[in-house]
Amino acid sequence: MEDSPTGSFEGLGLLPALVEAARGRGYGAPTPIQRDAIPPLLAGRDVIGAAQTGSGKTAAFALPLLQGVQKDPRTIQVLVLVPTRELSAQVASEFRKLGRGLHGLKVVELTGGTPAKPQRESLARGAHVAVGTPGRIEDHLERGSLDPSHIQSVVLDEADRMLDMGFGPDVRRVLGYLRRDRQTALFSATFPEAIESMVADVLRDPVAVEGDSGQDAEPDIEERYQVTGRNRFPALCAVLAHCPHESAIVFCNLKATVSEVTGSLVAAGVRADRLDGDLDQFHRDQVLSRFRGGSLSILVATDVAARGIDIDALDLVVNYELPPKPDGYVHRIGRTGRAGKSGLAVSLATRVELDGLGAFEQATGRRMSPLLPEDHPHYSAPPKNPGALLAQIREAAPMETILISGGRKDKVRPGDIVGALTGEAGGLRGDALGKIEVRDTISYVAVQRDFARRAVEALNKGRIKGKKYRATLTGSTINGPQKWTPHRG
């Protein structure tokens, strides 16, 4: 459909000034997400977009929403919520560039970790579009410096990342300030349950659009087996070294095995920890937080302990021991291959156990093949030096997780932690920070390993919202849980 009217920006119904600006940016034709999202957004519909950075999603919402902006009175009419200051800067810049033909257009940035006063002054002078992080936007709404009554469209950009960073409650509170008849657009690269429930709660009859085609929601799990001797650890090492992974879960049938395997992995320098019935609630939560934040690459778990854990990005599941029943097998391997990603499940089996794999194949309707080709040195004989194999995967987890002695009840919010660590106060760049999880009385922040010590120092020296808190690096639970005495200043 070469000359279909939607092959051009004009054909999408955009005003000449906006088409001109898109051309000025060097955009020849709309990208798929722009082609699909612009018409419904122009028509005032809610939109849910599955799109990654690089799909052209920013212009996909900026162009149509700019078209609806009234120059007078100069009030905020479009609000964009983003997870980070960097993204805020990019989105604001795109709005300014695409809006250059709309004379007098003002775009303000409302991000945490920067002084609020100049933001309040910009708002008081008047602006049309506000872009920022949820915590700071909520502050402005709370203080009355941001008037929500004229906001006709709100965008939740990189919604999955916002939830990952713990902004979910802030986002919901911000939405609570807005008019009910507003237009809402949500863009996200992945759609875990938390996003789906947000979509169900905040969007009205949304049009779904997709940035990249060809992604199906069917789980895509490759199932393999690896022959092992009676001592399974060398075979595990061969599997871990052979299968590149960022986050893996290793299932054992008994918690004693979990401790043993975790201990051996940790002793070899691998970033692993355990999830078993002996872990108290606090440390269980901490291990999961470290895993989600990229401070651990491997979780060793029993079935019971792994039940209901909130993790979607597993790329490898290893059955250290075969589960007793086929439905246990289906359950374990279903932990990978989620959210449109492909996954790999490898089961260790002794020669005697190989026959039993047939029951698993029947349960899934798929065949299992050996992981390694027959002529591979580790096809059936365990590697002689498993430690050397593990050396390859030691660096797999790039982050460290810091525990902070303040949480929701102290009114600590993700943006406050970002603020304390970046900018003049902390000296870190925003991109050195990862996932932030704020709990009732504590918080976790993931920081790139090289900056972790500096971050701990900055947090212990500085203040969060004027208050002192204690920060420590979290570590492995395998040598006995760390002592933690919350100390508040």
Would you tell me how many other CB atoms lie within 10 Å of the CB of residue 70? 11
Please report how close the Cβ of residue 98 comes to ligand AMP at its closest, in angstroms: 10
In the sheet with 298-302, reading across from the earlier edge strand, the strands are 272-275, 298-302, 248-252, 316-319, 342-349, 220-227, 369-370
Place of tokens 């937080």: 289
Please report how close the Cβ of residue 56 comes to ligand AMP at its closest, in angstroms: 3
88 binds ligand AMP (CB under 6 A): no
Residue with smaller CB distance to ligand AMP, 27 or 177: 27
| Binds ligand AMP (CB under 6 A): choice among 39, 40, 49, 56 | 56
| Binds ligand AMP (CB under 6 A): choice among 12, 18, 34, 442 | 34
The contact pattern for ligand AMP, residues 58-77, with x = CB under 6 A and - = no contact, is xx------------------
Cis before 324 (ω within 30) = no
CB under 6 A: which stretch of 51-59, 370-378, 447-455, 469-477 binds ligand AMP? 51-59
Please report how close the Cβ of residue 16 comes to ligand AMP at its closest, in angstroms: 17
Task: Say what the alpha-carbon torsion angle 310, 278, 447, 165 is, to the nearest 10 degrees.
Answer: 30
31 binds ligand AMP (CB under 6 A): yes
Please report how close the Cβ of residue 92 comes to ligand AMP at its closest, in angstroms: 13
Task: Tell me how many degrees the CA angle 404-139-202 measures, rounded to the nearest 5.
Answer: 95
Phi-psi region of 290 (alpha: psi -120 to 50; beta: other; left: phi over 0): alpha
From the number of C-beta atoms within 10 Å of its C-beta (0-12, 13-18, 19+), residue 137 rates as buried
84 binds ligand AMP (CB under 6 A): no
Separation CA 136–CA 131 (nearest Å):
10
295 binds ligand AMP (CB under 6 A): no
Task: With CB under 6 A as the rule, give the number of residues binding ligand AMP.
Answer: 12
Residue with smaller CB distance to ligand AMP, 210 or 260: 210
| Binds ligand AMP (CB under 6 A): choice among 13, 15, 17, 27 | 27
Backbone angles phi, psi at 188, to 5 degrees: -155, 145
| Binds ligand AMP (CB under 6 A): choice among 12, 35, 48, 55 | 55
Separation CA 45–CA 207 (nearest Å):
7
Residue with smaller CB distance to ligand AMP, 30 or 134: 30
Residue with smaller CB distance to ligand AMP, 95 or 320: 95
Place of tokens 């895509």: 220
CB under 6 A: which stretch of 27-35, 304-312, 333-341, 344-352 binds ligand AMP? 27-35
Chain center to CA of 325: 33
* DSSP secondary structure letter of residue 249: E
| Binds ligand AMP (CB under 6 A): choice among 8, 10, 20, 53 | 53
Smallest Cα–Cα separation from 52: which of 276, 213, 180? 213
57 binds ligand AMP (CB under 6 A): yes
CB under 6 A: which stretch of 53-61, 103-111, 187-195, 225-233 binds ligand AMP? 53-61
405 binds ligand AMP (CB under 6 A): no
132 binds ligand AMP (CB under 6 A): no
Residue with smaller CB distance to ligand AMP, 53 or 380: 53
Separation CA 63–CA 219 (nearest Å):
35
Residue with smaller CB distance to ligand AMP, 25 or 143: 25
83 binds ligand AMP (CB under 6 A): no
Give the end-to-end CA distance of the chain in Å, rounded to a whole number: 66
Separation CA 440–CA 190 (nearest Å):
27
Residues in touch with ligand AMP (CB under 6 A):
25, 27, 30-31, 34, 53-59
